[in-house]
Amino acid sequence: MEILTETQSDALIFVISGRLDGSTAPDLQETMLGQLDAAPVILVDCAALDYISSAGLRVLLLATKECKKARRPFGLCGLQEEVREVFKLSGFSSIIETFDSREQALTKLSTPA
Q: What is the DSSP string of the chain?
A: -EEEEEEETTEEEEEEEEEESTTTHHHHHHHHHTTTTSSSEEEEEEEEEEEE-HHHHHHHHHHHHHHHHTT--EEEE---HHHHHHHHHHTGGGTS-EESSHHHHHHHHHS--
**In whole numbers, what is the pLDDT of the chain averaged over residues?**
94
- Per-residue confidence band for 111, with pLDDT thresholds at 50, 70 and 90: confident
Residue-wise pLDDT for 5-34, tens only, equals 999 988 999 999 999 999 999 999 999 999
What's the whole-model pTM score? Answer: 0.94
Distance CA 92, CA 109 (A): 18
Domains of the chain, with CATH numbers?
Answer: 2-105 (3.30.750.24)
- Per-residue confidence band for 112, with pLDDT thresholds at 50, 70 and 90: low
Residue-wise pLDDT for 54-78, tens only, equals 999 999 999 999 999 999 999 999 9
